Amino acid sequence: MADSISTKSMSKSKLLEVKLASLLEVTKAINSNAKTPELLKIYESVLRRQLNVGKLVLYANDGGWKSVLQFGMEAAFTADEIERYLLPLKDITLMDSAPSGEFVPIQQALKQNNVEVVIPVFHKDLPLAYALVGDIDEEQLGIGASVKHLNFIQTLTNILVVAIENKRLAKEGIRQAEMKKELEVASQMQHMLFPSSLPNDTQLEMDALYIAHQQIGGDYYDFVRINEQEVAICIADVSGKGVSAALLMSNFQANMRILLNRSGSLAELVVELNDKVNDTAKGERFITLFVAKYNMVTKIFTYVNAGHNPPLVLSPDGSISMLKIGCTGLGMLDDLRKVKEGVVMTEPGTVILCYTDGVVEQENENGEEFGVKRMKDILHNKGPKSKIKDINNFIIESVKEYKGAKAYVDDIALLTCRIF
């Protein structure tokens, strides 16, 4: 009897030593910033060699559920099955316990895969990992039929998974910081593509505003002096958002600047630009464009609207018209056969308001769009007497107030001019 008690006492002592030594080894590895594969190797060694666990699969959530360690049995569960069978389990679950209710099919599915114990790892309400354990040699450590060491496996698993998660978050933080820096540089470069100054003299008064939906975007406006008599303006919008849209737009801007002086007419310019967009975008994106030339001597305003939101024209008599003549968007068709040019005879005081769809398609909290009518009302009320810059600012403030807590749906660009 005494010998039996002594043996049992020694087994408990050995178990405690194993646990302490294992925790120390894992902690040292974490403190020395060991890589994830090394941490998993130590974890596996402790389970297999010290606790004699014969089967284990460790599923971790790293942008999606996947097996990060397995031995003794296959990682048989798909991501969908993990969602279905494991997520309902919040605590250590023994498959031999009496199943009931909704857990019956869960336990049946797990037992079919030779799983004896499920050990979940949570951070608050967020599941980080699930350890599926089987073939535990409980007699090896002298604790009979009990499963007391499962709590230790849970503790060890928690320590390991949290360490791996912290590494992932640290890497993600570095990646996000690098991406943020790259986006800041890209944003600065994109703003360099916009004209550094716009005319404000006895012939033209112009102003532009740009708000990117993300840090960089795919809207673009420009002003180019062609010669002493002619100037050109344009506003464009790439389908989609973000970096890829910005890259396509920067390429488009370069082609626009080169071809503007080389093409004989706006129709020829748009046909050439369509070819360039097709070569670059490969049919995956398209660009809507409004481009115009204004002769400051003849007062003739010639334009092509290639699928863009029609600019609004406020005449001195208070009437508002829309500039719709042109063709389809660039990159939608391989060949633009018919490109029509619109012609407007301007009078002193004429205001032309160009914009992208991010303005009129902005929704409020009820899902209703800002719309063209509000743009017309603002232009009608503010256009005759307000400075062009004030008109643009009023539009932006009106959009902000209209959207309320709703996020911006797209990039926003405004290019407005008054002809004297």
d(CA 250, CA 246): 6
Number of helices followed by number of strands (H, E) in the chain: 10, 16
Taking the chain, what is the end-to-end CA distance rounded to the nearest angstrom?
112
Highest mean pLDDT (candidates 90-94, 97-101, 157-161, 378-382): 378-382
Among 170-184, 209-223, 294-308, the range scoring the smallest mean pLDDT is 170-184
Higher pLDDT, 124 or 146: 124
Q: Exposed, middle or buried by CB within 10 Å (0-12, 13-18, 19+), for 259?
A: middle
Query: Helices 388-403 and 371-382, interaxial angle, to 10°?
Result: 140
Structural domains of the chain, ranges and CATH numbers in brackets? 2-171 (3.30.450.40), 182-419 (3.60.40.10)
Structure tokens at 103: 């857990």
Express each pLDDT in 150-163 by its tens digit. 788 888 999 999 88
What is d(CA 13, CA 8) in angstroms, rounded to the nearest whole number?
9
Question: pLDDT tens, 306-319?
Answer: 999 999 999 999 99
Q: CA 360 to CA 348: how far, in whole Å?
A: 27
Residue 413: predicted pLDDT: 95
Residue 181 has pLDDT above 50, yes or no: yes
Would the pLDDT of 97 be above 90? no
Q: How far apart are CA 149 and CA 145, in angstroms?
A: 11
Looking at the DSSP assignment, which residues form a beta bridge with residue 320?
314
Instruction: Indicate the range of 3-12, 117-126, 173-182, 351-360 predicted with least confidence.
Output: 3-12
- At 61, the pLDDT band (50, 70, 90 cuts) reads confident
pLDDT of residue 177: 80
pLDDT of residue 27: 85
Phi-psi region of 157 (alpha: psi -120 to 50; beta: other; left: phi over 0): alpha
User: Of the ranges 164-168, 172-176, 363-367, which is most confident?
Assistant: 363-367
Contacts with 121 (C-beta within 8 Å, 6 or more apart), sequence order: 127, 128, 129, 130, 131, 154, 157, 158, 161, 162
What span, in angstroms and rounded, lies between the C-alpha atoms of 52 and 198? 76
- Please give the Cα distance from 15 to 140 (Å, whole number): 10
User: How high is the pLDDT of residue 143?
Assistant: 37
pTM of the model: 0.64
pLDDT at 235: 97
Residue spans of beta strands (DSSP E) within 6-116: 53-61, 65-71, 93-94
Confidence class for position 192, pLDDT limits 50, 70, 90: confident
| Distant-in-sequence, close-in-space partners of 225: CB < 8 Å, separation ≥ 6 | 231
pLDDT > 90: percent of the chain: 49
- 131: tokens are 């350890």
pLDDT class of 6 with cuts at 50, 70, 90: very low
Report pLDDT for 291. Answer: 98
Average pLDDT over residues 266-279: 95
Mean pLDDT of 212-222: 82
**Angle, in degrees to the nearest 10, between helices 2-31 and 149-193:** 10
| 95 pLDDT tier (thresholds 50, 70, 90) | confident
Predicted confidence band at 145 (pLDDT cuts at 50, 70, 90)? very low
Reply yes or no on whether the pLDDT at 142 is more than 50. Answer: no
Most confident region among 48-52, 82-86, 241-245, 355-359 by mean pLDDT: 355-359
* Residue 157 exposed, middle or buried by CB count within 10 Å (0-12, 13-18, 19+): buried
Model confidence at 219: pLDDT above 70 = yes
Angle at 126 between CA 120 and CA 130, to 5 degrees: 20
Q: For residues 143-156, give the mean pLDDT.
A: 64
Looking at residue 183, its pLDDT comes to 66
> Does pLDDT of 247 surpass 70?
yes
Local structure of 337: helix, strand or coil: coil
User: Among residues 299, 302, 306, 245, which one has the least CA distance to residue 274?
Assistant: 306
Sequence-separated contacts (24+) of 384-392 with Cβ below 8 Å: 384/314, 384/316, 384/318, 384/349, 384/351, 387/205, 387/207, 388/205, 388/206, 388/207, 388/351, 388/416, 388/417, 388/418, 389/207, 391/207, 391/351, 391/353, 391/416, 392/207, 392/208, 392/209, 392/416
Segment 390-412, tens digit of pLDDT: 999 999 999 999 999 998 988 99
